[in-house]
């Protein structure tokens, strides 16, 4: 099982996942040497603190401030954490809605909180779109294919 699969299975709750698209990431970025190249960019699975620092280095944004901003808009983020469907795409069909970057973390099951948190570990994912908007998605580990 690779690190992304382990993260998505809830086996790496202290880690974060970053995806930064080729369109957003500079060609000589140091993140390319530590991440896994995908069809559209670079994906990294890193220890939480290192991951938040890498996110800030790659995007210029504080990871948790970005997540807080993105929580206001529900969207759909690919389970592979390297794409998504911008919730503003229907209202702005002429605009580019390609994902520029994704930040994700997982939270352990917490029955006291209730809701989906009582059902199992929860993946929280946040995406920033080329249109300038950010959005979020979350799911219980193992419930999305």
Chain segment 50-73, per-residue pLDDT in tens: 888 888 888 889 999 999 999 999
Average pLDDT, the chain: 91
C-alpha 121/C-alpha 1 separation (Å) is 18
Region label for 115, one of left (φ > 0), alpha (ψ between -120 and 50) or beta (otherwise): left
Instruction: Record the pTM.
Output: 0.92
Count Cα atoms within 13 angstroms, Cβ side, for 137.
21
Burial letters 22-33, b for 16+ CB under 10 A, else e: eebbeeeeebbe
Q: Band of the pLDDT at 144, cuts 50, 70, 90?
A: low
C-alpha 139/C-alpha 59 separation (Å) is 25
What is the pLDDT, as a whole number, of residue 133? 96
C-alpha 27/C-alpha 24 separation (Å) is 9
Average pLDDT on 108-114 reads: 92
């Amino acid at each position: 099982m690779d690190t992304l699969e382990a993260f998505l299975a809830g086996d790496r709750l202290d880690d974060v996942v970053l995806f930064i698209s080729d369109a957003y990431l500079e060609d000589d970025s140091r993140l390319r040497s530590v991440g896994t190249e995908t069809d559209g960019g670079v994906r990294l699975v890193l220890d939480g603190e290192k991951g938040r620092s890498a996110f800030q280095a790659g995007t210029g944004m504080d990871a948790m401030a970005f997540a807080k901003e993105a929580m206001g808009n529900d969207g759909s983020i690919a389970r592979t954490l390297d794409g998504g469907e911008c919730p503003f795409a229907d209202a702005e069909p002429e605009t580019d809605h390609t994902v520029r970057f994704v930040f994700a973390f997982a939270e352990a099951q917490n029955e006291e909180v209730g809701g989906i948190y009582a059902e199992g570990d929860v993946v929280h994912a946040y995406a920033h779109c080329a249109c300038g908007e950010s959005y979020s998605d979350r799911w219980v580990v193992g419930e999305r294919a």
